[in-house]
Structure 1
Amino acid sequence: MPDLTTQLIHHPYQPPADFAAPQPGVFKASTVIFPSVAAMRERDWKDKSAFTYGLHGTPTTYQLEERLCSLEGGTYCVLVPSGLTAIANVALALLKTGDSMLVPDNVYGPNKSFADGQLARWGISTQVYDAMDPADLAAKITDTTRLVWVEAAGSVTLEFPDLPALVRICHDRGVVCALDNTWGAGLAFNPFDLLPGTSPALGVDISAHALTKYPSGGGDVLMGSVITRDPALHRKIQRTHMHLGLAVGANDAELVLRSLSSMALRYHAHDAATRTLARWCTQQPAFAQVLHPALPDSPGHAHWLTLCRTDAAAGLFSVVLDAQYTVAQVDAFCDALQLFKIGYSWGGPMSLVVPYELASMRKKWPTGIAQGTLVRFAVGLESVTDLQADLAQALQHMVASC
């Protein structure tokens, strides 16, 4: 009989396999045990047909990857520790010294920072284009362009581009097109089939998604995904993913799997509350402009109306406070909010607010955006009546301080 300490590690009992429950099991592993040397040599994790090492996947992460593919209409998926890691994984997989990349001027800020702070050091250049002008994108694609990022809606200012037109330009020029699909989340539109009924399907080549937002829904998980339908692109992304040693924790994967079942309900609840608040804000004299794709006066509204389900516009809106209000007064407005907490990110149960210095974020002031100080709201799951009252009291506080 082995020693007790050995028995605790090599116990012969195995639970029966026929166990099913609403939530998938959580498998934690670095080491994966093989029944034989031959089995170890034969197994290949790359097509999800086997397990070789925890870094390359477990039953828990494989299930999450497959469900995310169903959500976004893709075929292949890798999981990474954050949305920014998803962006970096794409760039590092596809770009080399001498290549160039194009990003819209309203792209997610850390994407620009990664390009300027890291890619430039490796001899990879980045240019910005006007997302609302497809001709500008077409004019800036060169023989060295290997990757174009698109975003719908645009970060912070929420302009909605003519996404099919941008994608078609990339396809016609033979350039890989990647979408940051965090706003759409797989629910507003299918990134791989932007014009249903066309053959072949018109869609992006790659969808990057910050699962931190709506798929998680709790404001407590950092994770990202990279999804594609193209096996050759997937192999490049997967190879870089492996070389960088990227992985996600089993408990984090469990939390996202648990939240996916309520994601559509939460997304539409965020959306409905956001539209109510955005419409109310259009009636407030202090706001020079309210930015939300479903509002007729918001830049790109017609493109949103054409591409998206009319009940899918996420939980973000921005306001531009009239230029008469100083930055200090706008900050005081944000500080006076009680339910909207000051903090980055979105998609969780708590409403958030962040003021932005738009001029420092863009090459030039965006066309169609009023002059003033921009504040972005991420609407949570609180009572919309309470949120509206919170906005009203903060506005009153700001106006009284003038």
Structure 2
Amino acid sequence: MSKAGDRAEGTTQVHAGRDPAGHSGAVSIPPYRASTILFPDLDSLEARDPDYEAVRYGRTGTPTSHAFEEAMAELEGGYRAVSFGSGLQAITTALLAVLRSGDHLLMADTTYGPTRAFCQGILARMGVETSFYDPLLGAADLEALFRPNTRALFLESPGSLTFEVQDVPALAAAAKTRGCTVLMDNTWAAGVYFKPLAHGVDISLQACTKYVAGHADANLGTAICTRDAWRAVKQAAVDLGATASADDLFLGLRGLRTLSLRLARHQEAGLLLADWLAGQSEVRRVLHPARPDCPGHQIWKRDFTGASGLFTVELAPLPRPALKALVEGLRFFGMGYSWGGFESLVLPTNPRRIRTARPWAGDGTLVRFHAGLEEPADLTRDLEAGFARLREALKT
């Protein structure tokens, strides 16, 4: 359960979930690879543990998972957390925990692609109807979309790929007046730069695969919950057999200890790159919430305390050879879908084919960047060379 409040956040990240005295003085809690747990007597074997606080079965909790969940709950100011094998598993399990056949879900149109696929696939087959809504709707306009059977509102801010910033407090308040559970994908802010539960959200979801683990070598997710929401999510995880591996939990705890330091570097490099890209003639606009010219910047400035290293630029429409010339010759930017690790990444993307509530209006070429932990000057020189290749390709 969350204990934050008497220490700075960086200190919390170093100390949360740690108990060296309980692990023979070891600074880091080891990965407990345990499936079978032995009991000293029959009474202990048969005792109920409704809060899953004791280690009774490896799948339902180990010292490693308990430590990680305690640390994540403290990071985001939650009652308790539930760990999962991926961010998507955290999202899908949380949705299954709060929805049943005949229910209606309001889902941000800018949500992560696999979340959309889950809604249109498994949830639809279950008899749950999903309405995708414009993430930039205000609370008054959102009100018109609620139905008597609406049970949940799902937020993602900033939005996936195009970084729309939602008015989370206002939207959450509107949902609460209808008795709806409010869920939010908080991966971009990593639980550091935004605290959903303090803004009216019931379940904050993260792909800890990304910034929390931070080294592109783990698959991990969490649901950080209020007191009222925790039990349903935990029970759904147990019923579905959803669990995280001991080694990935260990890597998540390792990454958490340096999270603020790494995020500060990602933020610095991301803003430097975004500003440099904004000065290139081929760039129409930069979609980075921390830049004053980005739609949603004022809400970001009001609610967030920082920015991560992930953002998108819209270029003028590029022929494929020019796009290939830009991205394929980059030295320090790899091409890949996931992000949040130490490496910088580039990803050409196209949201037009998956948006339904408000079609993406831009006709340019979108390229998403993740600023890693390399020296920003090296990254800038890499992009300078990439744009030089792009311009040469446009001449042919």
Whole-angstrom CA distance in 2 between matches of 1:262 and 1:48 = 29
> Does 1:219 pair with 2:216?
yes
The reply to whether residue 340 of structure 1 matches residue 337 of structure 2 is no
Residues 1:319 and 2:313 are matched in the alignment: yes
CA RMSD of aligned residues (A): 1.6
8 Å CA contact 2:23–2:29 kept in 1: the answer is no
Q: 1:375 to 1:38 in 2, by over 3 A?
A: same
* Residues 327, 373 of structure 1: 8 Å contact kept: no
- Does residue 75 of structure 2 align to residue 75 of structure 1? no
Match of 1:199 in 2: none
Q: Which residue of 1 aligns with 2:155?
A: 150
Measured in 2, the distance between the counterparts of 1:103 and 1:338 equals 38
- Match runs of 1:272-291 below 5 Å: 272-291=268-287
Tell me by how many angstroms 1:336 deviates: 2.4
CA distance in 2, matches of 1:282, 1:229: 40
Shift in alpha-carbon separation, 1:364–1:150, aligned structure 2, 3 A: closer
Give the stretch that moved more between structures: 330-339 or 125-134.
Answer: 330-339
Distance 1:18 1:107 in 2: 41
TM-score under structure 1 length normalisation: 0.89
Q: Cα distance 1:364–1:143, how it changes in 2: closer, same or farther (>3 A)?
A: closer
The one-letter code matched in structure 2 to 1:211 is C
User: How many Å apart are 1:17 and its aligned residue?
Assistant: 6.5
Closer, same or farther in 2 for the Cα pair 1:17/1:254, shift >3 Å? closer
- 4+ long deviations beyond 4 Å: 364-367
1:260 paired with 2:256, answer yes
Structure 2 unmatched runs, 5+? 1-20
How many angstroms apart in 1 are the aligned matches of 2:355 and 2:321?
A: 21
> How many residues of Structure 1 are paired with residues of Structure 2 in the alignment?
373
2: CA distance between counterparts of 1:364 and 1:149? 14
Mapped partners of 1:246, 1:131: distance in 2: 29
Q: What secondary structure is seen at the aligned counterpart in 1 of 2:46?
A: helix
2:221 and 2:338 map into 1 onto residues whose CA distance is 13
- 2:100 alignment partner, SS class: coil
Which of 237, 244, 255 is equivalent to 1:241?
A: 237
- What stretches of structure 1 of length at least 5 have no aligned partner? 1-15, 195-202
Which of the residues 84, 96, 100 maps onto 2:104? 100
* CA distance in structure 1 between the partners assigned to 2:131 and 2:365 by the alignment: 26
> CA offsets per residue over residues 305-351 of structure 1, 9 Å max, x none?
11112xx111111100113x224432432212221100011110111
Residues 134 and 357 of structure 2 are in contact (CA less than 8 Å); yes or no, is this contact kept in structure 1? no
Q: Judge which range, 327-336 or 146-155, deviates more.
A: 327-336
Q: Measure how far apart 1:248 and its partner are.
A: 1.3
Range with bigger deviation, 83-92 or 133-142 = 133-142
Name the counterpart of 1:9. Answer: none
Aligned partners of 2:80 and 2:65: how far apart in 1? 13
Question: Match of 1:389, SS?
Answer: helix
Q: How far has the Cα of 1:55 moved from its partner?
A: 0.6
Which protein is bigger by CA-based radius of gyration?
A: 1
**Alignment TM-score, normalising by the size of structure 2:** 0.91
Deviation at 1:43, TM superposition (A): 4.5
How far off its partner does 1:363 sit? Answer: 1.7
Q: Secondary structure at the match of 1:102?
A: strand
* Secondary structure of 2:161 counterpart: coil
SS in 2 for 1:55: coil
- The amino acid of 1:360's aligned partner reads R
